[in-house]
Chains A and B, each alone.
Chain A
Amino acid sequence: ETGVTQTPRHLVMGMTNKKSLKCEQHLGHNAMYWYKQSAKKPLELMFVYSLEERVENNSVPSRFSPECPNSSHLFLHLHTLQPEDSALYLCASSQEVGDYNEQFFGPGTRLTVL
């Protein structure tokens, strides 16, 4: 496989469930990102990792917990979510963080919280 892959593509969960989103990049990049995309809103950056170290955390509620075990894999662990957390969750990677680096996005996970 090439590019950035995300699983699952669709997820429906109850507010008391625990689930995880997975992202894998096959581009040899050092930076990975989680974004949230809600209808009529701009992409919201959630977390940034550089070489498995978290370098940015944008005031995201603790019910979202990221994990980056290596530079190719990124997880987003979900627990006790709220209906307003329903959105498209996008993973992206870039060669490095910051300056002039284009980001490569995965197809996203469409999350519905009941």
Chain B
Amino acid sequence: SQKIEQNSEALNIQEGKTATLTCNYTNYSPAYLQWYRQDPGRGPVFLLLIRENEKEKRKERLKVTFDTTLKQSLFHITASQPADSATYLCAPQGGANNLFFGTGTRLTVIP
């Protein structure tokens, strides 16, 4: 069965550094992958979508890569700020109607 792994449950980095979060998936080949941000007590918020034929996608300080050979997506936040502290969820396409979500990585940016 399909499996989504976000390698780090928690990640602490210093303000100004680049945060890199990893998402690995196994046993299937999603056509696209989404990343969401979730703050405590709130629902997830969509950040970026990347398709299987796209190697990289950028939005302001965010960058996502999608390596279909490695079955991996990397999510980068450059020049990180304390306001970036949140849980980040990887969500590869599931079936025709859904997404599979990872358990998330809780990022803390230390001032």
Query: Which residues of A approach B to under 8 Å, CB–CB?
Result: 4, 31, 33, 40-43, 45, 48, 50, 55-56, 90, 92, 97-100, 102-108, 110
Known contacts A102-B46, A102-B49, A107-B41, A45 near B98 by CB under 8 Å: yes
Asked if residues B42 and A107 are in contact (CB atoms below 8 Å), the reply is yes
Interface size range of chain B in the complex: 20 to 34
Asked if residues A100 and B51 are in contact (CB atoms below 8 Å), the reply is yes
Q: How far is the CB of B21 from chain A (nearest CB, A)?
A: 15
Among residues of B, the one whose C-beta sits closest to the C-beta of A55 is B97
**List of A residues within 8 angstroms of B99 by Cβ:** 45, 103
Task: Apart from A31-B97, A42-B101, A108-B43, list 17 A-B contacts with CB within 8 A.
Answer: A41-B103, A42-B102, A42-B103, A42-B104, A45-B99, A56-B95, A97-B96, A99-B32, A102-B34, A102-B49, A103-B34, A103-B99, A104-B46, A105-B45, A106-B43, A108-B41, A108-B42
Asked if residues B97 and A103 are in contact (CB atoms below 8 Å), the reply is no
**List of B residues within 8 angstroms of A43 by Cβ:** 44, 89, 101
